[in-house]
Amino acid sequence: MRKYLKLSLFVLMTVALVSTCAIGCGGSKETATKEPYVIGAIFSTSGVSASLGVSEANTVNMLVDKINKAGGINGHNLSVIIRDDGSLPDTTATLATTLIEQDQVLVIIGPTTTGETTAIMNISTDAEIPLVSCAAGAAIINPVKYWIFKTPQTDKQAVVEIYRYLQSQNISKVAIITSTSGFGTSGKGYLESEAATYGITLVDNQRFDSTDTSMTSQLTHIQGTDAQVVVCWDTDKASAIVAQNMKTLSMSIPLYCSHGIATPAFITEAGDAANGIIFPAGKLLIVDNISASDLQKTVLTDYKNDYLAKYDASTLSTFGGHAYDALYLVVGALENMNEDLTLAESRAAIRDGLEQTTNFIGISGIFTMSPTDHLGMQPGSLALIEIVNGAWTPVQ
Amino acid sequence: MSAHQFAQYLIDGLTQGSIYALVGLGFTIIYAVTRIINFAQGEFVMLGGTLSYVFAVTSGLPMPLAIIVAILVAAATGVVMYLLAIRTARRASVLSLIIITIGASIFIRGIAGNRLGVGAVQPPHFTGNTTILFLGAKIDPQELWIIGITLSVTILLHLFLTYTMAGKSLKACAINPEAASLVGINTKTTALTAFILAAAIGGIGGVAVAPLSFASYDMGAMLGLKGFVAASIGGFMSPIATVVGGLILGVVEKLAVGLSWGPFNSSYKDAIALVVLLLILLIRSGRLAAEERSA
């Protein structure tokens, strides 16, 4: 009997000890790791814009690992929910709603292209949640929308970069050939509206579909004009066909393309015909050639090395850089955010933080935002790049 | 428009039209025999194009062998699709079967995007890419291949339908399925033959066009649309009319580019092509109505 008493006393004491420890340990644990910051991301990792979206999703996954390994943000781990919209605006809208209502994310990064971004701008505004788009269209931030930001250079900046160079080369007669896609149509608009400012006359204005087997007809028409250069505005595949067709037609005038061809895929696709093509793009492509005094040099080199250590070189592109900038802009805002805010307060605080970004050195450029500028890209972010012997080379 | 420019537009248009024609032929063959509009037709073209690259470049097979294997795989996909998706649902209405083909196309596209990657690929040209000068037009040799292949396919198909038992059975089923089965034609076998033919012709189109304009997992949908238009010019019944329809569509599109002047530029090329189509359809339907009245 006494034996039993002893035993039960021992058991009781052990239980008590263990439970106090558990409470104590639990309590101290709670203060050590705080609740993670959950943010949402929507990228087109399948569908027509997949080559862009894959670079973006890879980049975000890589950076989140890096940030959490380094201890997170003010003791909070970062958790990102990445969704694929299949390059379809309708899907993007559904995904955005789910992220906002169900997953209760603090902020949304992406989507990849202008069409998908347009599809969710109202959703984000109505839900009062900040959106940092990775799409190029100038219409996203012009006019300024309270909750909407973006990171890539606008297509207008890309057009201006080409025109400024043409003007410096005393070239005034330009033929443009643009696709009927959203990207091509937006580019066409700026190619037309900016021409006069840079003393450029558009001597031909051709369109094509992505379904066309060849653009020789449009190019033959251009051959009938006195154009000094051709400017083509579309993503890699159709631009590669234009380049090859110009070779078939033995056209000797130079071809300029959009920043839509800033991917290794274009050089593979266009082959020989890629040589001599000039296009504007972020400095990431020519990071080895830019001077050490360039403020972006370190950031660009680190990103490139980190990315190549983890992923295939064929997916390294400026598009991943747009996601890098979007994520770090958000991280910057989270670092300055107060503790213990409600979800709505956190979202508002992140929005304010994004707007107060000053001299953030990113992949696409250096950002200083303001209530009137939700891109905040400082001049000199784009470089003109020529493809020489299948490699990107800066134009002097 | 100078003579050599006209030649350039014409050949460019015939090339483009040939692809529409090959896709259209697939629609016509399957519709004529089974009354199903096969929305997966464009996917056979995609398979031909992407697989010829996979076999020729990734696996390193000699080009002719790679082409044949790609076409065979496309044809086999047609067989599998028919046996698994269409024959098992044979009691369903034609509308349901058409919806099944849409499902099949999404399935095939998804598998291709997943297994073969989402980028655009370009298999090597059949006979190099040295520009040929023809009537003042500068042509990629592949364009001649595309036009030549389309003509050969059309002629062979015509011979097959006119002079072989299997071909005649197809025709019989197209004209009157019930009467055909009464005289002992196995309608299931003819339907299978139709799917094989359509898938193989689609595959051939893909193999021919990919060296010129790239192949990617999502190319099928757009080509399918234009091929559908070519087939509707042919009334979904006559292969020859379908081919002519495809060629007209291609040439009109390209000539519309050539005629572009001032504000009337190449953005209107599809609109012009559609207007021509509407005219053709109006004339055709008028003639059909007249025939019905006289009958």
B45 touches chain A (CB under 8 A): no
Closest to A296 in 3D by CA, of A377, A198, A223: A377
Chain B residue numbers with beta carbons less than 8 Å from the beta carbon of A237 are 120, 214, 216
Tokens 């071809």 belong to: A255
CB atoms within 10 A of CB A68: 15
Q: Which of B122, B225, B253 is the best substitution to test chain A (most A C-beta atoms within 10 A)?
A: B122
Q: Is the pLDDT reported for residue A206 higher than 60? A: yes
Q: What is the pLDDT of residue A18?
A: 47
Q: How confident is the model at residue A28 (pLDDT cuts 50, 70, 90)?
A: very low
Partner A contacted by B237 (CB < 8 A): no
Say what percent of chain A tops pLDDT 90.
67
CA distance A81 to A22: 32
Q: Find, among A152, A141, A393, the residue nearest to A259 by Cα.
A: A152
Cross-chain residue pair B138–A212, CB shorter than 8 Å: no
Delimit the domains of chain B by residue range. Answer: 3-119+139-294
Q: How far apart are the C-alpha atoms of B217 and A233, rounded to whole Å?
A: 22
Mean pLDDT, chain B, rounded, equals 89
Whether the bond between A143 and the residue before it is cis, its omega within 30 degrees of 0, is yes
C-alpha–C-alpha distance, residues A264 and A224, integer Å = 33
Instruction: State the Cα torsion A231-A236-A237-A240 to the nearest 10°.
Output: 50
Gap between the Cα atoms of B121 and A271, Å rounded: 11
Are B14 and A216 in contact by the 8 Å Cβ rule? The answer is: no
Interface with B, mutate which of A205, A214, A218 (most B CBs under 10 A): A214
pLDDT at position B62 over 70: yes
**Segment among A304-313, B75-84, B235-244, B256-265 with least mean pLDDT:** B256-265
Put simply, the answer to whether A208 touches B113 (Cβ < 8 Å) is no
Nearest residue on chain B to A223, alpha-carbon basis: B5
Q: Is A207 on the interface with B (CB under 8 A)?
A: yes
Mean pLDDT of chain A: 88
Locate the DSSP E strands across B161-239: none
Query: Would the CB atoms of B213 and A210 count as touching at under 8 Å?
Result: no
The dihedral built from the CA positions of residue A143, A147, A148 and A150, taken in this order, carries a sign that is positive
Q: What is the rounded distance in angstroms from the CA atom of residue B242 to the CA atom of residue B24?
A: 6
Residue with more model confidence, B95 or A33: B95
Q: How far apart are CA B252 and CA B247, in angstroms?
A: 8
- Nearest Cα of chain B lies from the Cα of A82 at a distance, in angstroms, of 18
DSSP B50-92: HHHHIIIIIS---HHHHHHHHHHHHHHHHHHHIIIIIGGGTTS
Where do the H-state alpha helices sit in chain A? 2-32, 50-69, 89-101, 114-127, 155-168, 182-195, 216-223, 236-248, 264-270, 297-310, 318-335, 343-355
- Predicted confidence at residue B291, as pLDDT, reads 62
CB A262, CB A136: distance < 8 Å: no
A51 Cβ contact list (under 8 Å, min separation 6): A236, A263, A265, A315, A317, A319, B118, B119
Answer whether A206 touches B (CB < 8 Å): yes
Listed by number, the residues of chain A in 53-92 with a beta carbon closer than 8 Å to a beta carbon of chain B are: 54
* Separation CA B120–CA B37 (nearest Å): 28
**For the sheet containing A229-233, what is the strand order?**
A201-208, A173-179, A229-233, A255-257, A278-282, A382-388, A391-394
Residue A258 near residue A234 (C-beta atoms within 8 A): yes
A120-165 pLDDT, tens digit each:
999 999 999 999 999 988 889 989 999 999 999 888 889 999 999 9
CATH of domain B3-119+139-294: 1.10.3470
- Using a pLDDT cut of 70, give the percent of chain B over it: 95
Task: Please judge whether A180 and B139 are an interchain contact, meaning their C-beta atoms are less than 8 angstroms apart.
Answer: no
Q: Could you tell me the CA-to-CA distances from B268 to A183, A184, A187, B5 in Å, in that order?
A: 18, 15, 18, 19
Asked if residue B195 lies in contact with residue B104, where contact means CB atoms within 8 angstroms, the answer is no
Confidence of residue A19 (pLDDT cuts 50, 70, 90): very low
Residues 148-187 of A with CB under 8 A from B: 180
Which has the higher per-residue pLDDT, B134 or B65?
B65
User: Residue B212 and residue A214: Cβ atoms within 8 Å?
Assistant: yes
CA nearest neighbour of A237 among A215, A205, A218:
A215
Please give the Cα distance from B85 to B77 (Å, whole number).
11
pLDDT tens figures, A71-112: 999 999 999 999 999 888 889 999 999 999 999 999 999 899
